[in-house]
Structures are given as structure tokens and as C-alpha cells.
Amino acid sequence: MLSPLDGRYRTSVEVLLPYFSEEALHGARVEVEVRYFIALSRAGLKEFPAVTAKQEKELLAIAKNFDEKSAAEIRAIENATNHDVKAVEYWLKDAVSQVSNLKSSTEFIHFGLTSEDVNNLAYGILIMRALKDVLVPALQSVTKDIHALAAANGKTQLLSLTHGQPATPTTLGKEMMVFEGRLERQLAQVRQHKMGGKLGGAVGNFSAHLAAYPKVDWEEFSRTFIVSLGLEPIRYTTQINPHDDLAELSHVFSRVNTIGVGFCRDVWTYISRGVFRQKLVKGEVGSSTMPHKVNPIDFENAEGNFGLSTALFSHFAEKLPISRLQRDLSDSTVQRSIGVAFGYHLLALQSLRKGLSKLQVDAKAIAAELDAHPEVHAEAIQTVLRKNGVQGAYEKLKALTRGEKVTKEGLRKFVDNLKIPEADKKALLQILR
């Protein structure tokens, strides 16, 4: 196996197989063709009367019961046709010919369509279903985990580091909420996303449809059919869906991945600082030579897999919306890796959740780190001085603290000697307690 998603990590991502495997794609193509065939029978075509309720049920059963054996049969046909969608058409004609009184109507399968009419709709419904069933819930679970960590530590004071240097204290809860808020913003966009759909024949102007039935409103037929699949109709196209829909979705997931990388790196740093300890798992080994090691491997794995996912999504966003004139086929081979991008994204989320489940806040280490840097309270002191009109407040604190060894005792003495209201002085001393 060339891909770790099909080997080492298969059990972690196999939940995506019903949406992004070759079998799933063939199944979706069959579903599109079957539903198109049924819709076409109701378009008022003299030579193709509407299918009966019984026939419709049998036709939909073909799509519903599509399985590995069906996919293998299509692959066998493709060995001769060297064309996947044509293989689907031939397979489906044989299947439909066995439905009561429909053998004479099989030429209306794939009627007036180009392969891209089928492919883009198939990809669209698979992606929409994967978002709803797997990807959105997975991202929601991560945001909930981060929220829980934030809620449990909303009042846990933490030393900030700006430019890597000690800075004004924050709270651990707030730092976690920063990432939750960023992810929720992207999650809202994922929820609102709708894949587009194109059905307009070989060059997008219904030329074949109109040649056979010039009086049918094919634009309205196409719009209604695409909406019935849960997709957004694209009115003007070349032979292909321009893929702006997939580019937009790729950009959103790239941002989610980037936020994920930032979160992993921050938590990795917190672990290094001692803010977090990691729960021990019996039997686990952190290093092949250093017995004491408890590595933040889950966050490192998540960071790496977020990066792999983004690399693919970035390529989709840059490449897919560009096609030579009416079309070229370079998009076809690229789209086959959509599931890989989502696979690495899902794998990263799983590693992130696993890492979060092991975190334990070390309150003593946090307090000790904060106590070791009393100089970070200089901002609060100089701001209170400025409030009270003390000239050169910033400069006074700069001289007292910048590059100096600062102690709480020294700061208290400084505050005690200030000529400011007693209430403000008490508030500052409370900070320095």
C-alpha cells in the first residue's frame, strides 16, 4: 500500500470510505443516472412516458443496493471502454433492462449528457453527505473538547509570552477560547457551504437536448433536478463545473487546518513549559532510549497531518478552477484525491482529540512560573499611575523593571511609596500579594 491512509491509519479513516472510495464514486454516478432517468421520464417526452411508481421503486433499488460486486462489474466493463462513466452507463442499461417494461427505454439513460454532468453531481452529493455525516461532527467534537478545557480553566492565571518574553498575565481558559472562537467561525462556513451542480450537456448549452426536444425548457429541468440532489445549480458553464465550489471548501478547510496547526504548536509549548502534564498510559513508550520521556506525540501527529491535508486542499483551490477553454481532463485525476485531503484532516482531528484527553493542568507549575516573573505586573502599575496623572509613569516603570532583577517585595515597596489614592494602592498591592 502506497498511502498510510490505506495501511497504518485505515481503521481511523475508514468512516470516509462510503463517500470517497472508487466504489462510492461509482455508486453515486449510478444514483445520479437513475434519478436523471426518472426525472427525464417526467419531462413530457413523447417517446419516453413517465415511469410508474413500481418502476421508480425498482430503479431506485438499483442505486440503493449498489455494492462491491456492482463496482467490480463496472470496473470490468471499464477495462474495455477505458472510460469510467461510459462503463457505468453500459452497466446501468443492463440493470434497467431487467426492470418491468423498461428495456425499450434504456437509450434514455445518459440521454444528452456528458460525463462531467454525472461526475460533478456525483462528487457534489458525496461531499455534502460526508460533511454532514462525518466531517462537521468531527470538527464539532474538537471545538467542544477545547471549550471544556477552557471552561475548566477560566480563572487559571497564566504567564503570557509575547515575542517569547514574559508578558502581562492572562488566563489559560481565555487562551483556549481564542482557538475555539476561530474554529467556530470556520465551522459556521462549512455548515453553510453548498456544492454546486452543472447539467448542461457537452459544452453547457443543452445542444443535444435541444436537438432532440427543442420545445422543452431544459434550463428549468436542469435547475429543478440539481436542486433535488441538494446542490446549488450553476447556470452558465463550459463542459464542466468550474469547481469554484470545491475551491471555496478547500480554502475553508485549509484555514481550519492552519488554526489546528497553531493550536497544536501552542499546546506543545505549554507542555514544554510545564503548564500541562500528560496522563501516563500503561505500556506506552516515549523514547526508545530515554525511559523518562512522555512525548506530545499526538499533537505532533496532528500538526503533520493538518499540513498534509492543507497541501492537497491548496492544490485543489489553485488548480481545479482553471481549465483550458471548454475543458481539459487534468481536473479528473486531481479530484480523485479529494478523499485523501479529508482523510488527513480527519486523522489530524482524531490525534488532536486523543492528545487533549491526556492533558492535565499543573497548577503548581503555572503559579511558580508566574511568581518567577513579577516584572510582568509593571503594565498594571504604570496604567494606574497614568490614570492618576503621574507624569512619566511608563518611564518610571521602565527604569524600575527593564533588564533588572525584579522581586515582588521591591514592587510592593515601590507601590507603598506612591502618592495615589489608597483604593488604587490597595488594588495594586492585591495584585502583588
- The residues that are catalytic are 163, 287
Q: What is the DSSP letter of 51?
A: P
Q: In this structure, are residues 219 and 198 in contact, taking their beta carbons and an 8 Å threshold?
A: no
Neighbours of 49 (CB within 10 A): 12
Q: In this structure, are residues 213 and 44 in contact, taking their beta carbons and an 8 Å threshold?
A: no
- Closest to 175 in 3D by CA, of 162, 191, 189: 162
Q: Parallel, antiparallel, or unpaired for β 359-361 and 276-278?
A: antiparallel
Q: In this structure, are residues 34 and 65 in contact, taking their beta carbons and an 8 Å threshold?
A: no
Q: In this structure, are residues 346 and 138 in contact, taking their beta carbons and an 8 Å threshold?
A: yes
> How far, in Å, are 26, 161, 378, 404, 415 from residue 399 at the CA level?
73, 21, 11, 9, 14
How far is residue 366's CA from residue 211's CA, in Å, rounded to a whole number? 76
- Closest to 174 in 3D by CA, of 148, 199, 200, 153: 153
Q: How many CA atoms lie within 13 A of 85 on its CB side?
A: 18
The three grid cell numbers given for residue 247, joined into one nine-digit string: 475551491
Q: 3-state DSSP: the chain helix, strand, coil percent, rounded to 5? A: 65, 5, 30
Q: What is the DSSP annotation of 372-428?
A: T-GGGGHHHHHHHHHHTT-TTHHHHHHHHHTTS---HHHHHHHHHT--S-HHHHHHH
Q: In this structure, are residues 172 and 212 in contact, taking their beta carbons and an 8 Å threshold?
A: no
How far is residue 45's CA from residue 42's CA, in Å, rounded to a whole number? 7
Helices (H) and strands (E) in the chain, counts: 20, 6
